[in-house]
Homo-oligomer: A and B are copies of this chain.
Amino acid sequence: MVATRWGLATVERRSTTEHVLSELRAAIIDGRIGPRAPLREVALADAFGTGRSAIREALSALQQEGLVVSERNRGTWVRELSCDDVVDVYRAREAIETAAVAAALERSSYDLSLLRAALHELRTVCDRDGMRSPSQALIAADIDFHRTLVALAESQRLSRAHEPLAAEAQMLLNWHPVYSGSDYVDDHQQLLDAFEGGDAVAAVREHLRLSERLIVAVVETYSSRLRVVDDGAATATTEEADR
């Protein structure tokens, strides 16, 4: 290999579509685009400086991931998640994450160091950003911990199945701040401990059910609030995202 001998990195070659896709996905998940915001093809094409094809492909991918909804000849919007959706996301997460942990435990040779690293990252971000309302980075670290958890099962397809759920959960947390920073670290520390001297499966289940309850409570109040000022809020998020 000449490239390795000369220490040359292979040039990163991403297609336009991939670039648009990851950019849009990140913006939605981080909450920079906000629920119900319209995703117009021509506007996005202008913004990214590409043709509509790339945008269309990215949008249809996002639709498959469940992050946006689109209606024929009417357009695409960032999906708004209802209370029922929150419950469904967490039920599905519970199913997949507990199954993944069970599979990892069954094999009895799993690598906890990755999990420890994820926890360490969580702690670092928490220390940096303080105890106030959780930052995007903290939420991302939270979700990454759970990704790592699923990865313990060492099943490519299980991780793939988990991915859209992780994205939706991250989106939810960014729209509806719940935890305080310290809770994040403590909860996940407990989770890690359960691997060493406890019932990890049950710990994961409890962790998720607790989170579900917290978020449902917040989303319920949010939805009722939204229902009152419906149009106002909708257009507000629209303009903000259209910028």
Quickly give the copy total for this chain. 2
Residues in chain B near residue A161, CB distance under 8 A = 92, 96, 161-162, 164-165
Is A105 among interface residues, defined by CB-CB distance under 8 A? no
Is A124 among interface residues, defined by CB-CB distance under 8 A? no
> Which listed residue, B60, B66, B91, touches A57 by the CB 8 Å rule?
B60
Is A187 among interface residues, defined by CB-CB distance under 8 A? no
Residues in chain B near residue A165, CB distance under 8 A = 157, 161
In the bound complex, what is the Cα–Cα distance between A160 and B99 (angstroms)? 16
Q: Is the CB of B100 within 8 A of A155?
A: no
Q: Is the CB of A13 within 8 A of B72?
A: yes
Residues in chain B near residue A60, CB distance under 8 A = 57, 60-61
Residues in chain B near residue A53, CB distance under 8 A = 53
Residues in chain B near residue A96, CB distance under 8 A = 95-96, 99, 158, 161
Task: State the Cβ distance, A180 to closest chain B Cβ, in Å.
Answer: 28
Residues in chain B near residue A64, CB distance under 8 A = 61, 64
Residues in chain B near residue A61, CB distance under 8 A = 60, 64
Residues in chain B near residue A89, CB distance under 8 A = 157
- Flag A190-222 by CB within 8 Å of B: 1 or 0 each: 000000000000000000000000000000000
Binding site for B on A (CB under 8 A): 13, 15, 53, 56-57, 60-61, 64, 66, 72, 88-89, 91-92, 94-96, 98-100, 102-103, 153, 155-158, 160-162, 164-165
